[in-house]
């Protein structure tokens, strides 16, 4: 059943006018009045609804009920991802959300090819949040991970909660992932850009309480490293069984 995100309160029994972007999507899907869809707003619940009106530029739906559909992993993961170029970053965010990441912190590190600041950075973060929302719609998640504001690598290190397990993808002083016991509060996982971390950045991360982990002897591209590690974490400690 098609799922759509709305940034407003949803209540069973209510009749709601659907926003323009949803109306366009409904028409692309060639749905008709009387058919059912699912709405969600990030509060962790799903709202099956029936289309009452569907025109070219207008649609209304009756919310049939509220469902407490829990599709979240018991493992809380914050992904700190150094910004990568082209579609790699979009792909990483989309797939990490499908795999269960709870929060995303994009950072600019020394070897990042992409450099963003000011209004350009804000607009890019908005686009990343849209990608995350779309990934939630596709994957059945009713909690929307937040994409935090873009900051420097050094700034991100100062904002790390102390109670979580902190992991850094690196071959330097690394141990295998299955030797880690994550905190019950969850973990923070940090992945570098295409060129990797500098030695100074790795040392700063170690000083901030990060442990280096590796998935094996092969060097992975940045987008591969993030996703492969999340899969491994969900297999070891999450809900991939």
In degrees, rounded to 5, the angle at the alpha carbon of residue 85 between the alpha carbons of residues 94 and 235 is 40
Token readout for 124 is 């890019």
Q: Give the pLDDT band (50/70/90) at residue 70.
A: confident
Q: What confidence tens digit (pLDDT) does each residue in 178-219 have? A: 999 999 999 999 999 988 899 999 999 999 999 999 998 888
pLDDT score recorded for residue 69: 79
What structural domains and CATH numbers belong to the chain?
Answer: 3-63 (2.40.240.20), 77-237 (3.40.1280.10)
Per-residue confidence band for 50, with pLDDT thresholds at 50, 70 and 90: very high
Q: What is the mean pLDDT of residues 76-97?
A: 94
Distances (CA, A) of 69 to 39, 50, 77, 240: 12, 18, 20, 18
Return d(Cα 153, Cα 128) in angstroms, integer. 18
What tens digit of pLDDT does each residue of 130-188 get?
A: 999 999 999 999 999 999 999 999 999 999 888 899 999 988 889 999 999 999 999 99
Q: Give the pLDDT confidence score for residue 194 in this predicted structure.
A: 87
Of 116 and 71, more confident: 71
Q: Tell me what the mean pLDDT of segment 88-106 comes to.
A: 96
pLDDT at residue 122, rounded to an integer? 92
Contact partners, residue 145, CB within 8 Å, separation at least 6: 97, 101, 102, 103, 104, 132, 136
pLDDT at 13: 95
pLDDT of amino acid 161: 85
Residue 115 has pLDDT above 90, yes or no: no
In this predicted structure, what is the pLDDT of residue 124?
93
**pLDDT category of residue 117 using cuts at 50, 70 and 90:** confident
> How sure is the predictor about 26, in pLDDT bands with cuts at 50, 70 and 90?
very high
Instruction: Give the H or E element holding residue 168.
Output: strand 165-169
Report the distance separating Cα 76 and Cα 70, nearest Å: 14
């Amino acid at each position: 059943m098609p799922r759509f995100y709305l940034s407003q309160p949803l209540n069973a029994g209510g009749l709601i006018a659907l926003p323009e972007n949803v109306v366009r999507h409904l028409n692309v899907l060639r749905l008709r009045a009387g058919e059912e869809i699912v709405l969600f707003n990030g509060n962790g619940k799903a709202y099956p609804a029936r289309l009452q009106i569907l025109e070219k530029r207008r649609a209304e739906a009756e919310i049939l009920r509220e469902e407490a559909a829990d599709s979240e992993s018991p493992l809380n993961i914050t992904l700190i991802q150094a910004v990568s170029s082209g579609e790699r970053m979009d792909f990483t965010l989309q797939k990490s959300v499908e795999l269960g990441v709870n929060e995303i912190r994009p950072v600019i590190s020394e070897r990042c090819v992409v450099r963003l600041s000011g209004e350009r950075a804000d607009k890019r973060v908005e686009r990343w949040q849209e990608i995350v929302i779309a990934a939630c719609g596709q994957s059945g998640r009713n909690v929307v991970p937040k994409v935090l504001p873009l900051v420097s690598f050094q700034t991100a290190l100062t904002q790390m909660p102390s109670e979580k397990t902190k992991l850094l993808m690196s071959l330097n002083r690394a141990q295998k992932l299955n030797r880690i016991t994550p905190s019950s509060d969850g973990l923070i996982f940090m992945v570098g850009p295409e060129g990797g971390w500098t030695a100074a950045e790795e040392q700063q991360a170690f000083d901030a309480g990060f442990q280096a982990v590796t998935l094996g002897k092969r060097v992975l591209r940045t987008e591969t490293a993030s996703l492969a590690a999340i899969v491994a974490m969900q297999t070891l400690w999450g809900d991939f069984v």
